Amino acid sequence: MAYDVIIIGAGSIGIPAALYLAEQNQKVLVIEGEHGPGQQNNKKAIGGVRATHSDFGKISVCLRSIEIFRTWQEARGDDIGWMSNGYSYPAYRPEDAQALQDLMKIQHSFGLNIRWLSPEEYNEIVPGINMDGLLGSTYSPEDGSCSPLLITSALYFHALKAGAEFRFNEEVTGFSQAGDKITEVITNKGRYSCNQVINAAGNHAREIGAMLNLDIPVYPDNHEAGITEPVAPFFGPMVIDMRKEPGSANFYFYQNNEGQVVFCITPDPPILGIDNRSTSEFCRFAANAC
């Protein structure tokens, strides 16, 4: 059977791509090695959705993503746990405050709604924040969060309704080509003709590219997160503390729509590869960062 588009990977890129292509009357097939949608990085995401980046491409794409997520329930009918709780970057060192304020000029030029809060203003939206040495914080109120599990499920079922096909537990093993054009995707279970291929394989995107002699610069690294029991809401935005601690480049946390506090570090040096284990070291790093 011939397809207009074959998408490799049923995650946070592959599933929405399948939905919107199918809604444009494209015949779409998604091939996924796992047993269901969103079983790799997507289900491990903490749920933050931000446009607070430093270049036009990321900001514009993420502003559009926020618009889609913010209006999803109204437009599509699914509760995805969306909150416009914002993102914030508190500064405790003069060099960080200066860097954040310089970056704000670029972000404003690209249309991002972001402002600088005084320590007192910031304490109002993050009560109990450490005020000792706090110089202020950026705050982008339109950034937010949602449930990675709920949005993936919603996207998947809407993609099915739109006519996209999914094949799970199936591994891509190669391609057939006519010159530079991919004409067929080969798996461990069959062969599928197509006009175009989208490589949305996430951690495995480089391996897929290598089958076509392409060196795609995707180098996965590992972060780890902790999550608490639900408690009554007591603060708003995602908080990204840029101060380094041994083993951690930064520390960030927020309270999701269910009241759980989710907290993470960025390992320093990076932990390269794919490793899904939970570690006791993470708790020590997180405690130091707090």
Which domains, from first to last, does the chain contain? 2-47+148-210 (3.50.50.60), 84-144+221-289 (3.30.9.10)
Q: What is the pLDDT of residues 95-122, one digit of tens each?
A: 999 999 999 999 999 999 999 999 999 9
Q: How far is CA 221 from CA 41, 200, 217, 264, in A?
A: 11, 17, 13, 14
pTM over 0.95: no
Helix or strand or coil: residue 39?
coil
> What average pLDDT score do residues 137-164 get?
97
Structure tokens at 115: 């402002």
Crossing angle of the two packed helices 148-162 and 14-22, in degrees rounded to 10: 30
Per this entry, what is the length of the chain?
290
- The model's confidence at residue 134, banded by pLDDT at 50, 70 and 90, is very high
Q: Tell me the backbone φ, ψ of residue 29, rounded to 5 degrees.
A: -125, 130
Relative to beta strand 172-178, strand 48-49 is unpaired
Q: Which of 73, 61, 80, 84 is nearest to 238 (CA)?
A: 84
- Does the structure show a pLDDT above 80 at 288? no
Q: Which of 49, 81, 52, 78 is nearest to 65 (CA)?
A: 49
Helix or strand or coil: residue 18?
helix
Relative to beta strand 261-267, strand 224-227 is antiparallel
